[in-house]
């Protein structure tokens, strides 16, 4: 895997302590989970026992358990308990690949390579942000990033102020937003939306409505692109 960069995976708010969720980057499957102490973890989404997705499982304290046979792994990815063999001293070879994780701007970011000291520079985001929502869209990440500016908000076009890698700065009416774009697969993306400063519920709802329109229009355009390719 050569995904040696920081990829946005979820809003920090949406992975509460003691919960997990599956996600994909360029089609590779990962589990994002947060232990009871509040630390986020990103692992390969696969139990080494029978290949079950760890994201189907559940978190207890600082362990995540596989739903299939209850094998429990500690926060280092090491299997610590096999319910069918409660007295077994679990071999050190039974472990799950872990990846580097950081939280910035209210977003969980992962870097996918073996955990070592050489990580790319962390994404630079303001400290005071309000999470809006994550939105999953059937559109390749690059195309989505290009289309964001085209979907009007209450009659006027959004103003894209910055584009740095996967981070797009947008002014939408009076709101200053940041969209972090996750390349889920070759045909799907996730847009993780945050706002700078504090926003009231009424404004969050307006932004949400805009983002739903964005999803509709972008998917309609992408579907047209694909029909064109088939016709060609």
Partner 1 sequence: MSNPVLYNYDLDENCYKVRLLLSCLGIEAETIAVDVFPGNEHLSPAIRAMSPKGSLPVLKQGDLVLHEAEAILAWLARSQKPDKGFLPNDPDTFAHVMMWLAFSARELDVAVRARVTAMMDAPGDIDALRSGAREALRIMEDHMTRQHFDDVEYVAGARATIADIALFPSFALSRDYNIDHDAFPALRRWARAVRRIDGFITMPGIPDYH
DSSP E strand boundaries for the chain: 3-11, 20-25, 28-34, 40-44, 58-60, 63-65, 72-73, 79-81, 98-104, 107-112, 129-137, 159-164, 167-172, 175-183, 189-196
Position among 44, 54, 55, 175 found at the interface with partner 1 (CB under 8 A): 55
Least distance from partner 1 to the Cβ atom of residue 201, Å: 4
- Establish if 136 lies at the interface with partner 1 (CB under 8 A): yes
Q: Which of 6, 7, 8, 14 binds partner 1 (CB under 8 A)?
A: 14
Contact flag: residue 190 with partner 1 (CB under 8 A): yes
CA atoms within 13 A on the CB side of 40: 24
Q: How far apart are CA 188 and CA 120, in angstroms?
A: 24
Closer to partner 1 by CB, 76 or 212: give it: 212
Bridge partners (DSSP) of residue 114 are none
Shortest Å, Cβ 90 to partner 1: 20
Residue 226 interacts with partner 1 (CB under 8 A): yes or no = no
Q: Which of 6, 10, 129, 148 binds partner 1 (CB under 8 A)?
A: 10
Looking up tokens 């972008």 gives 218
Binding site for partner 1 (CB under 8 A): 10-11, 14, 16, 19, 21-24, 55-56, 58, 67, 133-134, 136, 190, 201, 204-205, 208, 212
């Amino acid at each position: 895997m050569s995904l040696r960069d920081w990829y946005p995976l979820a809003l920090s708010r949406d992975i509460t302590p003691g919960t997990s969720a599956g996600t994909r980057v360029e089609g590779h499957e990962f589990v994002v989970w947060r232990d009871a102490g509040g630390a986020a973890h990103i692992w390969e989404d696969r139990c080494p026992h029978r290949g079950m997705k760890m994201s189907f499982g559940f978190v207890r304290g600082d362990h995540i358990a596989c739903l299939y046979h209850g094998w429990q792994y500690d926060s280092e990815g090491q299997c610590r308990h096999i319910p069918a063999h409660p007295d077994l001293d679990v071999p050190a070879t039974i472990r799950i690949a872990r990846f580097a994780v950081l939280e910035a701007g209210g977003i969980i970011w992962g870097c996918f390579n073996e955990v070592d000291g050489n990580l790319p520079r962390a994404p630079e985001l303001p400290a005071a942000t309000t999470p809006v929502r994550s939105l999953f869209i059937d559109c390749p990440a690059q195309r989505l990033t290009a289309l964001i500016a085209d979907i009007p908000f209450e009659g006027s076009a959004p103003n894209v102020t910055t584009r740095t890698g996967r981070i797009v700065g947008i002014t939408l009416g009076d709101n200053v937003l940041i969209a972090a774009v996750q390349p889920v697969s070759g045909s799907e993306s996730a847009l993780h939306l945050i706002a700078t400063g504090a926003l009231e519920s009424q404004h969050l709802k307006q932004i949400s409505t805009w983002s739903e329109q964005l999803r509709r229009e972008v998917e309609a355009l992408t579907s047209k692109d694909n029909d064109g390719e088939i016709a060609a």
